[in-house]
Chains A and B, each alone.
Chain A
Amino acid sequence: MTYPDSHGHFGKYGGMFVPETIMPALEELIRVYRGARADAAFRKELAYYLREYVGRPTPLYHAERLSAMCGGAKIYLKREDLCHTGAHKINNTIGQTLITRRMGKKRVIAETGAGQHGVATAAAAALFGLECVIYMGAEDMRRQELNVFRMELMGAKVVRVESGSRTLKDAINEAMRDWVTNVSSTHYVLGSVLGPHPFPMIVRDFQKIIGQEARRQILLAEKKLPDLLVACVGGGSNSIGLFHPFLNDRSVKMAGVEAAGLGIRTGRHAARFAGGTPGTLQGTYSYVLQDDDGQIRETHSVSAGLDYAAIGPEHALLRDTGRVAYASIDDREAVSAFRTLCETEGILPALESAHAVAYAMKAARHMKRNQVIVINLSGRGDKDVQSVREYMEKNKGL
């Protein structure tokens, strides 16, 4: 069985829970996207921009010193941090802007948490000459000041969102409000495998290239499939991108890593599987951090990109079937792994990706030397240098 079904269901998860005004735009998007996938010229154009503009394929790098330090499995890094604009997000924004052009729309909007999706959307909009508006929570703008300026340099207008917890969830609410209002002229470039159908499917399809390349590369390097794949899960686009092409390889284990923030027991985290229950948020039915009355809870993570109350619906299915194991890493472990990767490999990972690194380091120790881990290094950490410094100053013991 392939997911999703024609109404966007991944088992009992997913769907299209949005106001009627948007439904016709989603129907149009489904239709145009299907047409594009079937069109060889579209696929060729997408491949061209991914190669010549994004810089794909990205390397699969054997992190020898990190592996040696952990003293177990061989660790490889899928270097999505080397993509143009510094993260995997651009795989999706190039795809969706090409779709936007196909629909004849001239304006794109997007939400952003860490700023990576905002920057990637701004770049793609500049590349294709589209008007671009990015919604960003005020708290995230403070945490990611440099990315705000980056977006503005590429001609995007960044709108500060002051409602709610002033982070990613609130930015999505504002982007949805814009879309409801300007739906006939505007495409909403949703940045993760979230929201109403067809977004969880489209974003996954555009991110699958990560796993397709990694599969080819590891077979070339190791002559066998990896034993474990590890990726961080905010909405879940980089992880689904890596995991999806391996789902039928039963020997390959997979771990999705959520943000445990200050610790699950403190209630200040973003671990939807550890602390959430099924519900609808922003168009999709999945695991959500909510209270007993169905109100959405505030989340916390040192990394803005994981600081979100819901998880992509396909992950909810993969969790229920047991195909992917989900774990969580707290702020402290993530910052520590960030520093370890800097020191052992000279690579600054995004704080989001550092959650995956932290998990993989723990797992590697219990694995054999001939076993192989692939970590999706989904983004680079230049944007996080200031946050890490603040964190280290506040937590001197680390």
Chain B
Amino acid sequence: MNRIDQKFIELKKAKKAGFIPYVTAGDPDPKTSERIILALANAGADVIEVGIPFSDPLADGPIIQAAMQRALEAGMTVGKTLSLIAHVRAQTQTPIVLFSYLNPILKYGMKRFANDAAAAGADGVLALDMPPEESAEYVRIMKKHGLSTVFLVAPTSTDARVRRIARLSSGFIYCVSRTGVTGLTKGKFDEVERTVARIREHSAAPVAVGFGVSHRDDVRQIGRLADAVVVGSAIVRTAAEHRDDPVPHIQRFVKGLIHEKK
């Protein structure tokens, strides 16, 4: 069984909401990035989203844009991202989802990408600008290599779209908390409740909520509504603010997010 599916079964048994941090691969450099990902695994991440850097991240806010820029300047590529995943996989069994814009995957070659990502130990893929309409071949190729295909549902998605997305999704469905790009702007979480309910009407898959989730209170509130919470920009920012020694700061920040106050 795929590590993502296994993880959500465990979480369900434990009646716990999962915690899914996001980081950009190669930010600020490949070595440090590897240490950050392992620190997230050790701090209690249930799934880790690893972003493949892209020159034109039009769905990302300033924090992740800057992270991608740093990664590209440090020479990060799709191939190096997959090597990074392989290194991480040798040291932890935490499920990993690759989070990417479509073009780097196309340029690498979709079949080659699926093959190499699976071999490196990735468990799923989310292509941000790949809508269900265009994704028949993509889903077939990823599935063939045992990779889950995670899709986004937005508050603007119509019911017909939610249904179509549910059919193509595996692993989990990523519910975007609000309209907008990634970043710290707080989500309107009353809208989330409605969107999650609409997803549940069409799918039994676990639902993870992300975008604008950055505080412990958000994590707790979302954790009551959904099966998992995604935190991206807040973690990327913490790493960027402590570039020389990010690991202890990341660990402290994550513990503050997911553990009850003593």
A279 CB, nearest partner CB in chain B, Å: 5
Partner-contacting stretch, out of A141-149, A199-207, A232-240, A293-301: A293-301
Q: How far is the CA of A163 from the CA of B62 in the complex (A)?
A: 9
User: Are B56 and A164 interface neighbours, CB within 8 A?
Assistant: yes
Least CB separation from B185: chain A residue = A181
Contact for B179 among A21, A277, A296, CB less than 8 A: A21
Interface residue? A18 (CB, 8 A): yes
User: Are A176 and B78 interface neighbours, CB within 8 A?
Assistant: no
Least CB separation from B77: chain A residue = A293
Interface residue? B6 (CB, 8 A): no
B104 CB, nearest partner CB in chain A, Å: 4
Interface residue? A319 (CB, 8 A): no
Interface residue? A93 (CB, 8 A): no
A residues near B78, Cβ cutoff 8 Å: 293-294
Q: Mark A283-308, 1 if CB is under 8 A from B, else 0.
A: 10000101011111000000000000
B residues near A15, Cβ cutoff 8 Å: 133-134
Interface residue? A182 (CB, 8 A): yes
Interface hits, B175-193 → A, CB 8 Å: 176, 179-181
User: Are B179 and A183 interface neighbours, CB within 8 A?
Assistant: yes
- Tell whether A20 pairs with B131 under 8 Å between CB atoms, given A180-B59, A290-B107: yes
Q: How far is the CA of A163 from the CA of B65 in the complex (A)?
A: 9
Interface residue? B111 (CB, 8 A): no
Least CB separation from B133: chain A residue = A7
- Tell whether A294 pairs with B104 under 8 Å between CB atoms, given A20-B152, A177-B61: yes
Q: How far is the CA of A97 from the CA of B172 in the complex (A)?
A: 39
User: Are B157 and A24 interface neighbours, CB within 8 A?
Assistant: yes
Interface residue? B161 (CB, 8 A): yes
Interface residue? B74 (CB, 8 A): no
B154 CB, nearest partner CB in chain A, Å: 4
User: Are B134 and A17 interface neighbours, CB within 8 A?
Assistant: yes
User: Are B157 and A23 interface neighbours, CB within 8 A?
Assistant: yes
User: Are A282 and B152 interface neighbours, CB within 8 A?
Assistant: no
Q: How far is the CA of A145 from the CA of B58 in the complex (A)?
A: 26
A residues near B106, Cβ cutoff 8 Å: 279-280, 294
- Tell whether A283 pairs with B129 under 8 Å between CB atoms, given A163-B65, A180-B179, A295-B55: yes
Least CB separation from A278: chain B residue = B106
Interface residue? B39 (CB, 8 A): no
User: Are B152 and A19 interface neighbours, CB within 8 A?
Assistant: yes
Contact for B103 among A22, A177, A290, CB less than 8 A: A290
User: Chain A, interface size: which category?
Assistant: 35 or more
Q: How far is the CA of A34 from the CA of B55 in the complex (A)?
A: 35
Interface residue? B153 (CB, 8 A): yes
- Tell whether A19 pairs with B107 under 8 Å between CB atoms, given A184-B156, A282-B58, A295-B72: no
Interface residue? B130 (CB, 8 A): yes
Interface hits, A107-140 → B, CB 8 Å: none
Least CB separation from B80: chain A residue = A293
User: Are B151 and A20 interface neighbours, CB within 8 A?
Assistant: yes
Q: Mark B128-142, 1 if CB is under 8 A from A, else 0.
A: 111101100000000
Contact for A294 among B107, B130, B154, CB less than 8 A: B107
Least CB separation from B152: chain A residue = A20
Interface residue? A50 (CB, 8 A): no
User: Are A19 and B134 interface neighbours, CB within 8 A?
Assistant: no
Interface residue? B36 (CB, 8 A): no
B159 CB, nearest partner CB in chain A, Å: 11
A residues near B151, Cβ cutoff 8 Å: 20
User: Are A180 and B133 interface neighbours, CB within 8 A?
Assistant: no
Contact for B56 among A19, A23, A184, A281, CB less than 8 A: A281
User: Are B104 and A169 interface neighbours, CB within 8 A?
Assistant: no
- Tell whether A20 pairs with B179 under 8 Å between CB atoms, given A294-B106, A295-B54: no
Contact for A19 among B55, B79, B154, B161, CB less than 8 A: B154
Interface residue? B119 (CB, 8 A): no
Least CB separation from A181: chain B residue = B180
A residues near B165, Cβ cutoff 8 Å: 20
User: Are A295 and B104 interface neighbours, CB within 8 A?
Assistant: yes
Interface hits, B189-239 → A, CB 8 Å: none
- Tell whether A25 pairs with B156 under 8 Å between CB atoms, given A19-B59, A280-B102, A293-B77: yes
Interface residue? A16 (CB, 8 A): yes
Q: How far is the CA of A292 from the CA of B80 in the complex (A)?
A: 13
User: Are A19 and B129 interface neighbours, CB within 8 A?
Assistant: yes
Interface hits, B27-45 → A, CB 8 Å: none
B82 CB, nearest partner CB in chain A, Å: 12
Interface residue? A336 (CB, 8 A): no
Contact for B161 among A16, A24, A182, A288, CB less than 8 A: A24
Interface residue? A173 (CB, 8 A): yes
A residues near B157, Cβ cutoff 8 Å: 20, 23-24
Least CB separation from B78: chain A residue = A293
A residues near B180, Cβ cutoff 8 Å: 21, 177, 180-181
Contact for A24 among B103, B156, B181, CB less than 8 A: B156
- Tell whether A176 pairs with B58 under 8 Å between CB atoms, given A18-B129, A24-B156, A184-B156: yes
Interface hub of A279, A280, A290 (most chain B Cβ within 10 A): A280
- Tell whether A177 pairs with B58 under 8 Å between CB atoms, given A24-B156, A24-B157, A293-B78: yes
A residues near B257, Cβ cutoff 8 Å: none
16 further A-B contacts with Cβ under 8 Å, apart from A20-B152, A23-B157, are A7-B134, A19-B152, A19-B154, A20-B154, A21-B154, A22-B156, A163-B65, A176-B58, A176-B59, A177-B59, A180-B179, A180-B180, A184-B156, A277-B107, A290-B107, A294-B104
27 cross-chain CB contacts under 8 A? A7-B134, A17-B129, A17-B134, A20-B131, A20-B152, A21-B152, A21-B179, A22-B156, A24-B154, A24-B156, A24-B157, A163-B65, A164-B55, A169-B56, A176-B59, A177-B181, A180-B58, A183-B179, A184-B156, A280-B101, A281-B56, A288-B103, A290-B103, A293-B79, A293-B108, A294-B54, A295-B72
Closest 4 CB pairs of A and B: A294-B107, A294-B104, A21-B154, A181-B180
